[in-house]
Amino acid sequence: MAEIGFYHLTRTSLDVALPKLLGRVLATGGRAVVKAASDERVAALDTALWLCPDPDWLPHGTRASGEADLQPIWLTTDDEAPNGARHLFLVEGAESARLDAFERVFDLFDGRDETAVAAARQRWAAAKAAGHALTYWRQAERGWERG
């Protein structure tokens, strides 16, 4: 079973929160897949990761840039891990049928969007019913707090 953390974004946007979490994964020598709901979001995240100031270097790739096996971070809409990632980031309500293939899953959702919050609650219930270890994190003034 995967360890799934639900990350309730209330203080910053995904474009600000995601790079910091990805940076932590890379700092431990890990690899990550970021699964988005649309190709447009993949393209926007691709740009955001190249331009983010903290951390200032997040090597990554997409289907458009290729060479997935060489990329520490892979951005996709597909349910895949062609870079051998053990960390999965689900954004914009993206879901995976392969949760067990990962050590850790990060489900990031926009706390200012009631539809996104309701969908996250449904994903939580499904993951709990499937027997995954769940944690809940919310953004606080000084960073992430476990709820």
Check whether 138 has a pLDDT greater than 90: yes
| pLDDT digit string, tens, across residues 83-137 | 999 999 999 999 999 999 999 999 999 999 999 999 999 999 999 999 999 999 9
CA-to-CA distance for 1 and 19, rounded, in angstroms? 25
Global confidence as pTM: 0.96
The reported pLDDT for the residue numbered 56 is 84
Cis peptide before 53, with omega less than 30 degrees from 0?
no
Element (H, E) at 51: helix 39-51
**Closest to 1 (Cα-Cα) out of 103, 94, 90:** 103
**Closest to 22 (Cα-Cα) out of 104, 134, 140:** 104
CA-to-CA distance for 79 and 99, rounded, in angstroms? 10
Mean pLDDT of the residues in the chain: 95
Cβ atoms of residues 106 and 89 within 8 Å: yes
